[in-house]
């Protein structure tokens, strides 16, 4: 199982072994990682699972679809590396990824 590290804005890290096929949001919610809320349950309808994926990992994630890009307009402190964690599916390619979380979700 890929190791995924979620990094809270404060610097606190949560490293989890997650199964392939779950979203980064599901992995965080199922393991009670603070900083990801996922109010819409992963339907790409709320932007409360906003996270930052560094450029070195962006190419290993699928490109964001138009809906995700539009939803990011509602997120707090959007940056070039902003993504919605509900739209990124865990795979072996993401083993070792660090998912940085914003100070708040909205």
In this prediction, residue 13 carries a pLDDT of 98
Q: Where does the pLDDT of residue 80 fall: very low under 50, low under 70, confident under 90, or very high at 90 and above?
A: very high
Measured in degrees and rounded to the nearest 5, phi and psi for residue 78 equal -70, 135
DSSP 37-62: --TTSSSSSS-TTEEEE-HHHHTTSP
Q: Where does the pLDDT of residue 72 fall: very low under 50, low under 70, confident under 90, or very high at 90 and above?
A: very high
Q: Residue 33: which of 23, 25, 44, 22 has the closest Cα?
A: 25
In this prediction, residue 106 carries a pLDDT of 84
Give per-residue pLDDT as tens, 10-69.
Answer: 999 999 999 999 999 999 999 999 999 999 999 999 999 999 999 999 999 999 999 999
pTM tops 0.85, yes or no: yes
Q: Which domains does the chain have, with CATH numbers?
A: 3-100 (3.10.20.30)
Q: Residue 90: which of 7, 26, 6 has the closest Cα?
A: 26
């Amino acid at each position: 199982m890929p190791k995924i590290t979620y990094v809270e804005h404060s610097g606190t890290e949560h490293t989890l072994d997650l199964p392939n096929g779950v979203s980064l949001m599901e992995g965080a919610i199922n393991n009670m990682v603070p900083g990801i809320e996922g109010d819409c349950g992963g339907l790409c309808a709320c932007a409360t699972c906003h996270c930052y994926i560094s450029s070195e990992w962006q190419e290993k994630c699928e490109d964001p679809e138009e809906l995700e890009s539009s939803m990011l307009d509602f997120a707090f402190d959007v940056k070039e590396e902003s993504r919605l964690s509900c739209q990124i599916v865990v795979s072996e390619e993401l083993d070792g990824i660090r998912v940085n979380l914003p100070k708040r979700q909205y």
